[in-house]
Structure 1
Amino acid sequence: MNRKLARMQGAISALMLLALILAACGTPATDTGPAPEATEAPAAEATAPETPLIRRYAGETIRILMYEQVPTYSTLDRLQEFTDATGINVEYELLAESEMIRKETLDFSSHTGTYDVTNVHFWYIPQFAQAGYLEPLDDYAANLSVPEWDSMPDFVPSYLDSQRFEGGLYGLPFQGIVQILYYRTDLIDQFCGGTPPATMDDLMTCAQAITEGGGGEVFGYTDRGSADAATFMSPAGWIYAWGVNFLDENYHPQLTTPEAVAAMTHYVTLLYNYGPQGQAGMGWAEAEQAILNGVAAMHADTHDLGPDMVNPERSQFPDSISFAMPPMEARHAQDFFASGLSINADSQHKEAAWLFVQWATAAATQAEQLAERSDFTVESILNSDAYRAQVPGGEVILQAAQVADPLYFPAIPEFGALSDVFSAAVSRMVAEGPGSVEDEMTAANAEIEELLAAAGYYD
């Protein structure tokens, strides 16, 4: 029995004893005639019905911060639906991506709570969650879910996992993009037996055959080779395919492992021997342009490039480009991106903010945008006939998302500096050829290790 209950029972016993004593010591009762007739007790007031969850926060105003892109526009175009359903007013601010990140980071770190909901890229989740900037969402998902907006069982697991840190949920996935292989069907038919390459060995063999048969006009494969930080995504995904992550569980780089060296030897050989001229200066945009212009036959990159591939205004071969799973060695190659909606831990309207997050990421809300975007985060849409018919590459995107792994990406605050080091090394390797791989990987590994040691990772 707890102390509070014991005290209450003790007090009740004392009052009963006092009543008995007073009754025994009182004057004898006198007959005062018949007792008055009992009057009927007034009826208890009817209990007011509980306000439905969807209307519980009507009249509140929340502020959201997002960045300028098609999924944002498509969602906010339907904002009145949310306000009509909930009675919650929404004020929003849209900025360029880099400015949004700067502004949300400032709002978090200063604890001003200006924004209730913000777009958070998956690689910032560990940093922001560890700092206490983001509201944990597990209890909201368990206890405050509007049934028609509850898509928790429907989210692609890799996209949902990208919003977690140390087991806790800190966002719901708003946008997801994964890697697929783009290829010219006519050249695959002519030089590679009609089947797109499924393995890394197949990719090398096919790229060699196309390059040697292309007479210097078309090359087998193109990818990122510039020193730009964004180059990081593709070669790091190649290393993942060979069975190791860029950083181990203790944050040590793994660039000198046999697997990483083999992966980069393969990547560099592809681009050095079978890629177009100037590969060492190509970023993602230039690599995409190479396949659009017919200079390259194959290219692995994110699935949001699909509409360009079949657009006659962008592509010289819109009827000849098709889509396949990314090639694999021990695992499939990766290039993963997810952005979620998170609640500011300093928000004064967390429940209302949660309803917005749930609505904006709900399958029902996303389904209304099928004609406008391809980066949906729920399996029910990605697995639908309508999606496969509407979205270029739609027949393989769900399959690619199901093997995607956000952990291939080193989601740490020092990522920018780390990617600068590695991307510069990649560019030098692609320029110099596969013979340079081992030395460059050793040097990059040492530089990244030193960088992370200075940041305190090994203390």
Structure 2
Amino acid sequence: MKTLTRALLGATALTGAAALASAQETTLTIATVNNGDMIRMQGLADDFTAQHPDIALEWVTLEENVLRQRVTQDIATSGGQFDIMTIGTYEVPIWANQDWLVALEGMPEDWNQEDFLPAIADGLSVDGTLYAAPFYGESSMVMYRTDLMEAAGLEMPEAPSWDFIKEAAAAMTDKEAEVYGICLRGKAGWGENMAFLTAMANSYGARWFDENWQPQFDSEAWAAALNDYLELLNNYGPPGAANNGFNENLALFQQGKCGMWIDATVAASFVTNPSDSTVADSVGFALAPDNGLGKRGNWLWAWSLAIPAGTDDEAAAKEFIAWATGQGYTELVAENEGWANVPPGTRTSLYENEEYLAAAPFAEMTLESINAADPTSPTVDPVPYTGVQFVAIPEFQGIGTAVGQQFSAALAGQMSAEQALQSAQQLTTREMTRAGYIE
């Protein structure tokens, strides 16, 4: 009897210990985008779990458009699937005003929030309170093959015009050798082709809405921008450009198939990394093009980590965010991957770091591009909205994607530019009327 009692007590003790261990371990589910910097973070996350053995990490890694849909649906319905979400400069202020995000208050002192670049932090804040931590920040710029530019007898200006881009794209194209003068986003999505096209259109004097929220796709400026975009890709772009987003164009550039690529500054470390890029030793950088109207075709963005309101693991989530967006993580990447590969565009101290500046030939151009983008005055003519490559209203996510589908269809040859613009004007007018912006 005593033996049985001791056995039962022992079993109870073991069960209790297991339950206690289970209760002490927290699992954070993190939704993130399948970009190179995020993949690298997952590979280095053992450093975090070694420091926090009571916190386990579960990753949900998604293509950009799918990520946007999943996290938006989850947070709008209080689904509770995720403890940490990777979201951008568009979502943060809108969701914070809906009380959907946890304010990043009470963070560790050594996280040093004051070190974040003002241009990046301001877009992630509401009334001075930060609601998401920037993992990396970006603008957009021209990345180009210096060898092909030289062979074409051209010299890339530091601040090129769209006319020069057209000339260079024609001169560098050699379709028999599968070298295309220019690669641009064609995949439909408000954060894919419309990020590029909206920024490009800004430099042409176009805008999404006038000061009374009337859509402007019937303007000459939008027609000029879209026609030039289609001409560039149809004449000098790779086959199937309507299916190419950031990752697809990155792969093409790394394989030596793009003479120029106008896209996110964050790509610079990937196109200059000899481990990934066949053209790493012949890449140059320039500011995004302009059209002589005072606005360049560059955007402003940060992929950031945020905590949805209602999570049961807020404290653990803040611990992870402090690790992933802190200066210690930057040093961890530098130690493992080299300074050129640290997440760019978030901290002032990075652009004062001589080791980084020496290792990253794109650093100064990145910072200049970020500081040149002005979300409060993104267009030549006045507008009632903020945002450079997006319009900071809740309805834009749906409208932007729908418009992007029209422009992608035009690129695929399924409709003319005129038809795509007419369709964009009609659907945007309909949705803005439904939402009450216009009568």
TM-score range, shorter chain: 0.7 to 0.9
CA change 1:108–1:384 in 2 (3 A) is same
Q: TM-score, normalised by structure 2?
A: 0.72
CA distance in 1, matches of 2:313, 2:245: 42
| Structure 1 residues 224-252: Cα deviation after superposition (integer angstroms, max 9, x where no partner) | 23446632221122112335543556654
Instruction: Name the structure 1 match of 2:343.
Output: 375
Instruction: Name the structure 2 match of 1:231.
Output: 193
| Structure 1 residues 75-117: Cα deviation after superposition (integer angstroms, max 9, x where no partner) | 6333258659xxxx544432123479736853664386x8665
Instruction: Name the structure 2 match of 1:178.
Output: 139
Instruction: Name the structure 1 match of 2:372.
Output: 403
CA distance in 1, matches of 2:84, 2:409: 42
CA distance in 1, matches of 2:245, 2:68: 23
Residue of 356, 361, 365 corresponding to 2:325: 361
Q: How does 1:33-112 map to 2 (within 5 A)?
A: 64-67=28-31, 69-70=38-39, 72-73=41-42, 76-79=45-48, 83=52, 90-97=55-62, 98=66, 102=70, 106=74, 109-110=77-78
The Cα shift of 1:267 comes to 2.0
Q: How does 1:27-426 map to 2 (within 5 A)?
A: 64-67=28-31, 69-70=38-39, 72-73=41-42, 76-79=45-48, 83=52, 90-97=55-62, 98=66, 102=70, 106=74, 109-110=77-78, 117-137=84-104, 140=105, 144=106, 146-152=108-114, 154-165=115-126, 168-196=129-157, 198-211=160-173, 214=174, 217=177, 218-227=179-188, 230-247=192-209, 252-310=214-272, 315-329=277-291, 330-346=294-310, 354=318, 357-370=321-334, 371-372=336-337, 373-376=341-344, 377-391=346-360, 393-405=362-374, 407-408=387-388, 409-426=390-407
Instruction: Name the structure 1 match of 2:380.
Output: none
Q: What amino acid maps onto 1:170 in structure 2?
A: Y
The Cα shift of 1:200 comes to 1.9
Gaps of 5+ in 2: 1-22, 33-37, 376-386
Contact persistence 1:124–1:412 (CA under 8 A): no
The Cα shift of 1:166 comes to 6.5
Q: What amino acid maps onto 1:242 in structure 2?
A: Y
Length, aligned pairs only? 387
Matched, 1:442 2:422: yes
Q: What amino acid maps onto 1:93 in structure 2?
A: E
Q: Secondary structure at the match of 2:391?
A: coil
Contact persistence 1:181–1:326 (CA under 8 A): yes
The Cα shift of 1:223 comes to 1.3
Name which one, 1 or 2, has greater alpha-carbon Rg: 1
Gaps of 5+ in 1: 1-58
Which deviates more, 161-170 or 396-405? 161-170
Contact persistence 1:118–1:342 (CA under 8 A): yes
The Cα shift of 1:348 comes to 6.5
Contact persistence 2:170–2:181 (CA under 8 A): yes
CA change 1:105–1:82 in 2 (3 A) is farther
Instruction: Name the structure 2 match of 1:454.
Output: 434
Contact persistence 2:30–2:58 (CA under 8 A): yes
CA distance in 1, matches of 2:197, 2:137: 20
Q: Secondary structure at the match of 2:86?
A: strand
CA distance in 2, matches of 1:345, 1:226: 32
CA change 1:100–1:426 in 2 (3 A) is closer
CA distance in 2, matches of 1:312, 1:133: 42
